[in-house]
Copies of this chain bind each other. A is one copy, B any other.
Amino acid sequence: MNAQIITIGEELLIGQTIDTNSAWIAEELNLLGIKVTKITSISDKKEQIIETLDINSNEANLVIITGGLGPTNDDITKHTLAEYFDSELVLNEEVLEDVKRIIGARGANMLELNINQAMVPDKCKVLRNPKGTAAGMWFEKGDCVIISLPGVPFEMKAILTQVGFPQIRQKFKTPFILHKSVHTTGIPESQLADILKDWEANLPEKVNLAYLPSPGDIKLRLDISGENEVELHEILDAEIEKLQHLIPDAIFGYDNDTIEAVVGKLLLINGLTISTAESCTGGRIANILTSISGSSRYYKGSVVAYSNEVKQEQLDVNASDLEKYGAVSEQVARQMAEGVLKKLKTDIGIATTGVAGPTGGSEDKPVGTIWIAVASKKQTFAIKKVFGNSRLRNIQNSSSFALNFLRKLLTENQL
């Protein structure tokens, strides 16, 4: 049971839009046990759409297309599919109802462009769109199901989640594919591969392993497929237990875990509140922590102290220490963490101060240098790390690194 994904839009081919739809669809299909074998991004040209559809519908049992269903003239997917399936466009009353509701909720007037959105090919089954005016369409060609969806991510996701996936699940019965991801941090990829080489060599034949590095996180992904779901789980669980013994400190989570969710859970379990004092990370740690729903139970607030004046006045950093050691120093990081903890009355304060770059580095403190401090009422811990030259990567890496430092201290009950 294979699926392929086609994303349509000139914006993908000139690089103005990153294709995030494919990854989301692929992940969801995998959870249904449907293997994605190819993702193709093409332009909104009729000939290329038809040619790609011909190839994909021969290679796969399911083809999911996104893009080109908007109300404007550059959107040609619906007309192309109508032609491909020798179909007439007819007004669909249910879709018209959806369009009216959406346009009404936006407080806008119905335009001819909007009404055209309710015209759909008569040979498709409509997949209603709860969030927008472009309906999804389900076609069948021999044994292959072809689904066309709007390219706007939240509309595409709403259609698939509410009506698309349930119908796909009903239509296809497939072998089970299981993925397990182990998130690690703090060990570079080639060192990790060296530590794990014997374990890797002895993996059961059915198990595939991949190393997936991203800033501050190397994911180890284990895949297995077969008929017996329970047995597959047992095999992977046994391998993950071996990993836990090989690299106990480096593993911070599994599957969809993120460092902010893991830290959030630890704070909640320990009944601790937190505040952040950020210089070089500019509010990113606060932003990451608050991306978690329910974070107000442990996160109280932050002081982003970009200027030295704010560090002194809002966080009580000592002016002479700022002068003597510089803003990027262990002393200042410690005082920031302790300052925010006192000021915002939390159990823990976490602080960052560094040179994000690309300018502002010196021989002693090159671009990428960062000091992190974590303060509790008992004690303050500080650590230094030197990242690279990219401003955005430094901000991202410093934030993850700081949260991971906090995670370690929390799991070791040091706070």
| A binding-site residues for B, Cβ under 8 Å | 9-20, 22-28, 30, 35-43, 48, 70-74, 103, 106, 108, 111, 113-114, 133, 152, 154, 179, 181, 188-191, 193-194, 200, 208-214, 219, 221, 223, 276, 278, 281-287, 289-291, 293-296, 299-307, 309-310, 314, 343-345, 356-359, 390-393, 395
Contacts and interface: CB of A to CB of B under 8 A. Distances in A.
State the oligomeric state as a number of copies: 2
A214 B285 CA distance: 24
B212 A17 contact: yes
B38 A26 contact: no
A85 B36 CA distance: 28
B306 A73 contact: no
A114 B190 contact: yes
B304 A14 contact: no
A300 B296 contact: no
A301 B343 CA distance: 16
A298 B6 CA distance: 44
Contacts of A307: 296, 300-301
User: Which 5 pairs from chain A and chain B are nearest by CB?
Assistant: A15-B27, A282-B290, A283-B286, A283-B283, A15-B26
B26 A14 contact: yes
A345 B309 contact: yes
Contacts of A300: 306-307, 309-310
A19 B22 contact: yes
Contact of A293 (B36, B73, B303, B359): B359
Contacts of A194: 111, 113
Contacts of A26: 12-15
Contacts of A24: 15
Contacts of A106: 188
A214 to B, nearest CB: 8
Nearest to A117: B190
Contacts of A286: 278, 282-283, 286-287, 304
A339 to B, nearest CB: 12
Nearest to A11: B212
A310 B344 contact: yes
Contact of A13 (B11, B36, B73, B285): B36
A109 B282 CA distance: 35
Which residue, of A27, A41, A152, A358, has the highest number of chain B Cβ atoms within 10 A? A41
A154 B389 CA distance: 11
A345 B359 CA distance: 25
27 contacts: A10-B221, A11-B221, A13-B36, A15-B27, A18-B18, A19-B19, A19-B23, A19-B39, A37-B42, A38-B40, A70-B213, A73-B209, A113-B194, A133-B190, A276-B304, A282-B287, A282-B289, A286-B304, A290-B304, A291-B391, A291-B395, A293-B357, A293-B391, A300-B310, A301-B304, A301-B306, A302-B306
A148 to B, nearest CB: 18
Contacts of A10: 208, 210, 221, 223
Contacts of A36: 13-15
Listed residue (A15, A191, A344) with the most chain B CB atoms within 10 angstroms of its CB: A15
A70 B14 contact: no
